[in-house]
């Protein structure tokens, strides 16, 4: 489920929203290092600065989700999205996936605005990525037919490790991580109460999964171990950055 076997063009075709978000990460990073603009321009105008948001620059509640403080920060968050985003995009469809991603990031940034001081400044997509984890948790609790037991266990372990490392690493926006996770979970849990929509969604995803089972099933133990190590390294990298 979290291993990628697609070629570059096939990945873009199957997961256009994930591809576009990663492309934005890369382009914005290049703009901060290439001598096209002053290096500080994008951080000055797009980063999340609580004082400026309270003064009416509300776009800063969204733009920090796509901006990163350095190459490693951008790389690890982009790889994390590459690993965890495609399966959810296929389950939800591009529009719903983008909605979950952006709203989770918005909730994380709103919480940061409320609970952090006026001088607090932040960038990074970790809040939105935690929203994806939260949505996966809602699937495990309310839509058990969507995921196999093995994949559910993997997600639970990753969420536990992510939460633990949130509190162990320095320079982490803990508020954004926690509220991003909560926001994604609520977005996944609310449709549970619409039984008709839930029934149709499960039928659609079950149909898709049966047709794509060979694509998402990990048959090789060595391959599973390899990707497990990659995912663990990515998590460590994410939470070693601000």
Print pLDDT tens along the chain (242 aa): 666 778 888 999 999 999 999 999 999 999 888 877 676 788 999 999 999 999 999 999 999 999 998 898 899 899 989 989 999 999 999 999 999 999 999 999 999 999 999 999 999 999 999 999 999 999 988 887 788 788 888 888 888 888 887 787 777 888 999 999 999 999 998 876 555 454 555 455 455 445 544 444 434 444 444 455 455 545 545 444 44
CA-CA distances (angstroms) from residue 238 to 77, 162, 228? 6, 9, 15
Q: Considering the candidates 25, 68, 73, 177, report the single residue annotated as catalytic.
A: 177
Question: What is the model's pLDDT at position 192?
Answer: 67
How many beta carbons lie within 10 A of that of residue 180, not counting itself? 32
Question: What is the model's pLDDT at position 176?
Answer: 93
Is 1 part of a structural domain of the chain?
Answer: no
Is 22 part of a structural domain of the chain?
Answer: yes
CATH number of domain containing 166: 1.20.1540.10
User: What is the pTM for the complete model shown?
Assistant: 0.78
Is 72 part of a structural domain of the chain?
Answer: yes
Whether the Cβ atoms of residue 114 and residue 173 lie closer than 8 Å to each other: no
Q: Considering the candidates 125, 126, 162, 201, report the single residue annotated as catalytic.
A: 126
Domains: count for the chain: 1
122: phi then psi, degrees, rounded to nearest 5: -150, 150
Is 179 part of a structural domain of the chain?
Answer: yes
Question: What is the model's pLDDT at position 5?
Answer: 76
Tell me if residue 126 is catalytic: yes
Encoded tokens for 75: 């790389």
CA-CA distances (angstroms) from residue 139 to 68, 69, 88, 92, 207? 29, 32, 10, 11, 17
Is 3 part of a structural domain of the chain?
Answer: no
Question: What is the model's pLDDT at position 167?
Answer: 82
Instruction: Determine the Cα–Cα distance for residues 23 and 31; give it in Å rounded to an integer.
Output: 12
Instruction: Determine the Cα–Cα distance for residues 78 and 125; give it in Å rounded to an integer.
Output: 9
Three-state DSSP at 48 gives strand
Q: What angle do CA 68, 72, 74 make, to 5 degrees?
A: 35
Is 2 part of a structural domain of the chain?
Answer: no
For residue 37, what are the domain limits? Answer: 8-239
Is 178 part of a structural domain of the chain?
Answer: yes
Which residues, 6 or more positions from 218, have their beta carbon under 8 angstroms from its beta carbon? Answer: 1, 3, 224, 227
> Alpha helices, DSSP H only, in the chain?
8-14, 16-33, 41-46, 50-54, 71-92, 94-115, 126-142, 149-168, 174-189, 195-216, 221-239
Tell me if residue 177 is catalytic: yes
End-to-end Cα spacing for the chain: 28
């Amino acid at each position: 489920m979290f291993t990628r076997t697609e070629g570059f063009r096939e990945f873009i075709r199957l997961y256009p929203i994930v591809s576009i978000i990663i492309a934005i990460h890369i382009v914005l990073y290049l703009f901060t290092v290439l001598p096209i603009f002053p290096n500080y321009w994008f951080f000055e105008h797009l980063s999340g600065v609580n004082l400026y948001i309270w003064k009416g620059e509300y776009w800063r509640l969204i733009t920090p989700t796509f901006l990163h403080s350095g190459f490693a920060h951008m790389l690890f968050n982009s790889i994390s999205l590459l690993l965890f985003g495609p399966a959810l995009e296929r389950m939800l469809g591009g529009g719903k996936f983008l909605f979950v991603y952006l709203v989770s990031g918005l909730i994380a940034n709103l919480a940061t605005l409320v609970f952090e001081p006026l001088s607090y400044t932040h960038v990074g997509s970790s809040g939105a990525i935690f929203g994806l984890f939260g949505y996966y948790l809602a699937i495990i609790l309310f839509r058990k037919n969507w995921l196999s037991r093995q994949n559910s266990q993997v997600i639970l372990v990753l969420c536990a490790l992510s939460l633990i490392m949130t509190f162990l690493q320095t320079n982490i926006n803990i508020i954004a991580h926690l509220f991003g996770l909560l926001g994604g979970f609520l977005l996944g849990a609310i449709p549970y109460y619409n039984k008709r929509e839930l029934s149709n969604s499960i039928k659609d995803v079950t149909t898709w999964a049966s047709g794509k089972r060979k694509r998402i099933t990990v048959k090789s133990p060595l391959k599973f171990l390899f990707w497990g190590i990659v995912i663990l390294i990515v998590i460590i990298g994410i939470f070693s950055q601000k």
